[in-house]
Amino acid sequence: MKHAFSYFYGALLGGAIGDALGAPIEFMRFEQVMGILGTAGITDYIIPPGHKHALVTDDTQLMMFTAEGLIRSATRAHRKQKERTLEGISIAVFRAYLRWLYTQGLQTARWSTKDYDGWLVKVSRMHAYREPGVTCLTSLGKGVMGTVEKPLNDSLGCGCVMRVVPVGLVEEKERVFEVGKRLAAITHGHPTAYLSAGTLAYIIKEIIEDKSIAEAVSASRERLSREKDCEKVLEKIDLAVQLAKEGEHSRDKIEQIGKGFVAHEVLAMAIYAALCYPEDYLRAVLLGVNHSGDSDSVGGITGCILGCYLGVQKIPVELTTKIELHNEIKELATDLLTFYKDGEEWLKKYPAW
């Protein structure tokens, strides 16, 4: 079992690093990137003028608020002496996403200032606006929680995938896919989108249970195959696995899978990069970011998978110290591992309502 701090922190921080590496070239064709940075593309952080750290995007921000929501669901269940139900978990994380919405300068008419509580929403750097996805903003702005049964839209965008990584760290195997699926459906109503998220949560759970990346992908594929409307996601995963087995790992092959702006493509592209270099965090993530697609999202998910599998000690230390929010991510990883602690200090940090 990898139920230990190194792997929890590795999953979260590894994802944030991949996100930050890919963000500066997200909307660029790789030919443009090579013209600026050379044929290798991006190999290190590009830190904007006036900043001391590499900057993450909304993918990392939402992943952090997912972690907070999961912890608060556990706090609520303990304080009220109730079972943590699927509905209760979804509501707690939905409220966490509304706190994230507030950090982006927006809020719903149904909430007052007192509702934006807990510690994470008070971190000033969490309030940075990083051009978040329109689907997340518009869905959450309605103040209504989307569900699998009652979707708010038909979006299959990639913005719901990376954020569910904490689900794989803490939820029980029997329901980890379902929780990941439901949390994605809060904002993204297309089955391809929320099934992609459920699959990633399952991959992370398999890795935490000490499976190899290849074994985790295979097991997640089997679990996904039981779901209705799973064909598009299965097709992309199978392509990723096939291309990884061919050897000669390349940008051309990752681009055969897609651009990564939709959920099943971003998942499969990250799976490809992770399978190509399962023992080398940096090579996998650099493969995940250097292409003409959604570099930060593919790099972020690749980083989550590799960071979870290898542990934070296998991530180059120069990357771990130059990224914003690394202390807050470390704190969340510590608290996810704890998941619940009795006492008023914990309750103030993770209020139960």
* Tokens 């950090």, located at residue: 103
DSSP code of 174? Answer: T
Per-domain residue ranges of the chain: 5-349
Could you report the per-residue pLDDT of 149-194, keeping only the tens digit for each? 999 999 999 999 999 999 999 999 999 999 999 999 999 999 999 9
Q: Give, in words, the CATH class of 5-349.
A: mainly alpha
DSSP code of 119? Answer: S
The pLDDT value recorded for residue 326 is 97
DSSP code of 260? Answer: S
Beta bridge mates, 54: 323
CB 15 within 8 A of CB 303: yes
Q: Find how far residue 154's CA is from the centre of its chain.
A: 20
In whole angstroms, give the CA distance from residue 149 to residue 146. 8
Could you report the per-residue pLDDT of 71-80, keeping only the tens digit for each? 999 999 999 8
CA angle at residue 350 from 344 to 81, to 5 degrees? 75
pLDDT band at 63 (very low <50, low <70, confident <90, very high): very high
CB 22 within 8 A of CB 297: yes
Among 78, 52, 11, 3, CA closest to 308:
11
The pLDDT value recorded for residue 294 is 96
In whole angstroms, give the CA distance from residue 244 to residue 150. 37
Burial (CB count <10 Å: 0-12, 13-18, 19+), residue 348: exposed
In whole angstroms, give the CA distance from residue 104 to residue 96. 13
In whole angstroms, give the CA distance from residue 290 to residue 308. 21
In whole angstroms, give the CA distance from residue 167 to residue 202. 9
In whole angstroms, give the CA distance from residue 338 to residue 341. 7
DSSP code of 142? Answer: T
Could you report the per-residue pLDDT of 202-216, keeping only the tens digit for each? 999 999 999 999 999
- 112 pLDDT higher than 90: no
- 229 pLDDT higher than 90: yes
Q: What does 195-208 look like in DSSP terms, one character per residue?
A: HHHHHHHHHHHHHH
3-state helix, strand, coil in the chain (%, to 5): 65, 0, 35
In whole angstroms, give the CA distance from residue 174 to residue 48. 43
